[in-house]
Amino acid sequence: MTTADPVAPRARPDSLTARHPRVPASRLLAELVPPRHFARESFDTYEPDGAHPSQREALDRLREVAGALSGPTRSGGAWWRRRAAAQAPAVYLDGGFGVGKTHLLASLAHAVGTERTSYGTFVELTHLVGALGFAATVDALAAKRLVCIDEFELDDPGDTVMMSRLLRELTDRGVAIAATSNTLPESLGEGRFAAEDFLREIQALAARFEVLRIDGEDHRHRAVTTHAATLSAQDVRAVVTGRPGATLDDLDALLEHLATVHPSRYGALLDGIDLVGITGVHQVTAQDVALRLVVLVDRLYDRDVPVVLAAGSGAGATDGADLFTPDMLAGGYRKKYYRALSRLGALAGEGAALVGRD
């Protein structure tokens, strides 16, 4: 008679709080490419809505820009550099949520060539300046033909002034610029206000920018605020335990850890991670803490990493809909918070679908 082998215990999940990534400057620069979410997109995969001709017009114009930038570069003296700077395209994609601005921006980067393009969100580029210093960042980005800036933020005066200066330095060196931004949630469908704000904030450069208006409906038919699917703590632990590439953390411990990691390293914090479990979810009341959480959600979304969430049991516990306070959702950073809620909702939906599959 033989005795069956005992079932091996499932490996305890990893924890983000146990990670302390060290990121060299070369990696920060190498990661300035279109996110995984848009890695395979191109002009050919963008499908303009016939009801909104501006989508086709923007597509056609960006094809022209890509063609102009894809040719060989020339080197020369000061006269040639001034001529190149004057001719470098600068375009701003203006429109509401879900009309394909990021798709088109990533397509432009792919068409010009990722080796000749630096692509990052506004937040990623401000963090790059913080990590490398302003002069080193300018020198590194000036080596490219095109710099793409997604989600240009207009809510932080200091960062906006710094980014305006960065754009001026780059355009003076002949680097082409392409940028996007979103309207605030209460102004959906009124992208012209975002364009006016953008041009006002970069007034020294406004004459160089060509605004490409992109009208249309949100193709994802996504609510501005998405309720993140939440599970029981038991279900969250069950789905992450024994799953390769999964992590499990308590929200308070994770938020405390994020304060010790420079936001430019949040991407590295997720290296090799395919699923993130978070328990004890509750409303975040401190703005600096909330903004760090927003950056983490952005990096999770860029990498298509699903999350599984379990609400806490004490005061302030939430299903995700009330993750940020009403004052935050009405304040100057509200666009960031609405974006994070929407993205977290999408990632939590993917994570909840994993429950019961094992």
pLDDT at 153 over 50: yes
Domain membership flag for residue 124: yes
Q: What is the pLDDT of residues 164-215, one digit of tens each?
A: 889 889 999 999 999 987 654 344 334 444 667 766 767 766 778 888 988 8
Measured between its terminal Cα atoms, the distance across the chain in Å is 31
Give me the percent of the chain exceeding a pLDDT of 70: 80
Both 131 and 269 in one domain: the answer is: no
Identify the domain containing residue 295 by its residue range. Answer: 222-352
Both 89 and 167 in one domain: the answer is: yes
148-152, 205-209, 257-261: which has the minimum mean pLDDT?
Answer: 205-209
pLDDT at 316 over 70: no
Domain membership flag for residue 358: no
Q: How confident is the model at residue 159 (pLDDT cuts 50, 70, 90)?
A: confident
Give the mean model confidence (pLDDT) for residues 291-308: 94
pLDDT at 8 over 90: no
Question: Do residues 258 and 292 lie in contact, with contact meaning Cβ atoms separated by under 8 Å?
Answer: yes
Give the mean model confidence (pLDDT) for residues 138-159: 87
Give the mean model confidence (pLDDT) for residues 284-292: 95
Both 191 and 144 in one domain: the answer is: yes
Which one of 168, 183, 213 terminates a domain?
A: 213
pLDDT of residue 334: 82
Average pLDDT value over all residues in the chain: 83
Both 57 and 156 in one domain: the answer is: yes
Q: How confident is the model at residue 1 (pLDDT cuts 50, 70, 90)?
A: very low
Rounded CA gap, 244 and 358, in Å? 13
- Could you identify the residue written with the tokens 């001529």? 83
Residue 72's CB: how many other CB atoms inside 10 A?
A: 4
Q: How confident is the model at residue 308 (pLDDT cuts 50, 70, 90)?
A: very high
pLDDT of residue 350: 92
Q: What is the pLDDT of residues 30-61, one digit of tens each?
A: 999 998 889 899 999 999 999 999 999 999 99
Q: What is the pLDDT of residues 23-32, one digit of tens each?
A: 888 899 999 9
Q: How confident is the model at residue 223 (pLDDT cuts 50, 70, 90)?
A: low
Both 100 and 172 in one domain: the answer is: yes
Residue 123's CB: how many other CB atoms inside 10 A?
A: 22
pLDDT at 327 over 90: yes
CATH of the domain at 136: 3.40.50.300
Q: How confident is the model at residue 11 (pLDDT cuts 50, 70, 90)?
A: low
pLDDT of residue 217: 76
Total domain count for the chain?
Answer: 2
Rounded CA gap, 297 and 276, in Å? 11
